[in-house]
Amino acid sequence: MIKKIVDDVMPQMISDRRHLHKHPELSFEEYQTTEFLCRELEAAGIEDIRRPVKTGVVAVIHGVYPGKTVAIRADIDALPIQEKNELEFCSVNDGVMHACGHDGHAAMLLAAARIFEQHKDELHGSIVCIFQHAEEVPPGGAQELYEAGVMEGVDELYGLHLSSNFPTGTYGVRAGALTSATDRFDIRVIGKGGHSSMPEQSIDPIVTGAEIIVALQSILSRRVAAFEPAVLSVCQVNAGDAYNIIPGEMTLTGSTRTFSEEMRGKMEAMIEEIISGITKSAGASYEFKFERGYSSVINDKELTENVEQQLKKLWGEESILHINPIMPGEDFSALQKNCPACFVEIGTADEEKHTTFPHHNPNYRMDEEGLRYGLSYLLATIFDRLRA
């Protein structure tokens, strides 16, 4: 039955996805996207539509029978990227692009909401459909929605992400920690500026900063166990205004990715130890800020096992990939603080369709056939949980 339902709605789901792709909006600015979603949800006959924050929308489908409450989350924001694809539905908003699949996420949840509304006389419980704004920019829209109370009374939470890392027709499944905790660090190396011909009269923040950059890599190679997944990257370096002037300071910005709270805390301490030692030896000083971003998405074992069984029934054993933890962060974690959750990766990689570009790339393309598998996951899982 689910495959037939999905077949029937595929054209509309693809159309919705293309509309959203053509009209992307940045985090916290998803006003037209929110209006589009609200219109479509109202047209589907859904009566309980909520706008708890400025952008994003929550639609609740109430089954006719009492039961548990499950929530499904899809993110809706785009990225500050100039699209390089040549498609009929390319972004019309200069410098803004859906390069991470969020247009597909929203289209799948919209399709699911319509279907659940049509089948509410079969449902034992309620479904909270969360079209979440601002996943891409910490502190993220999920935290805002959590603070607005959208998760109150929710018993189970489900999410998904389209991924060009896995073949179309496959599901990346993992119980336990799925995504990394993503944190940011900012370093200001304070030296003493001067003339490039007389460096002895200066305290060179560039040389000091370069030593810090190299030394930070020793954290992973010499202070973190080989079996402990972690990443540390310096991604921005800024200093100087002229070729013959030693500047007075240099700034470094980067990110860390960890999976345990213990390692998260250790990473912050180890970074500052290195900065402190190197700047002291150079006669410089420093300022250091470590900002905690999104926590790890933790998949509940029981829910994940049930999802896997539902997917095997639909698509067979070969559709399931038992994946390792993945390094990207996800603010979905902010919604799962008080209830069990399951988050699944949906494959969209197809060499022939040129859909293997990485996410956040101006050439990113989505194999829209992946929408079929994402919607199937949502329908199979939720009908299983809310049918007697």
Answer yes or no: do 173 and 188 share one domain: no
Looking at residue 388, what is its pLDDT? 66
The last residue of one of the domains, among 292, 313, 344, is: 292
Taking the C-alpha atoms of residue 139 and residue 371, their distance in angstroms, rounded to an integer, is: 28
Q: Which two tokens stand for residue 76?
A: 């809706």
Angle between helices 370-386 and 301-315 (to 10 degrees): 120
Q: Is 135 an active-site residue?
A: yes
Catalytic choice (135, 136, 249, 268): 135
- Given this model, what pLDDT does residue 221 score? 94
Domain of 321, in residue numbers: 2-179+295-386
pLDDT at 35: 98
Radius of gyration of the chain (CA): 24
Q: What is the pLDDT of residue 280?
A: 98
**Tens-place pLDDT, residues 135-186:** 999 999 999 999 999 999 999 999 999 999 999 999 999 999 999 999 999 9
Q: Same domain, yes or no, for 278 and 191?
A: yes
Count up the domains in the chain and report the number: 2
- pLDDT tens, 243-289? 999 999 999 999 999 998 899 999 999 999 999 999 999 999 999 99
pLDDT of 9 reads: 98
- Dump pLDDT digits (tens) for 208-237: 999 999 999 999 999 999 989 999 999 999
Together in a domain, 258 and 132:
no
Q: Given a cut of 90, is residue 361 above it in pLDDT?
A: yes
Amino acid, single-letter form, for residue 114:
R
What is the predicted pLDDT for the residue at 240?
Answer: 97
For the stretch 363-388, pLDDT in tens is 999 999 999 999 999 999 999 999 86
Burial class (CB in 10 A: 0-12, 13-18, 19+), 339: middle
* Angle, CA of 151, 148 and 158, to the nearest 5°: 30
Last residue of a domain, one of 227, 258, 292: 292
Does the active-site annotation cover 77?
yes
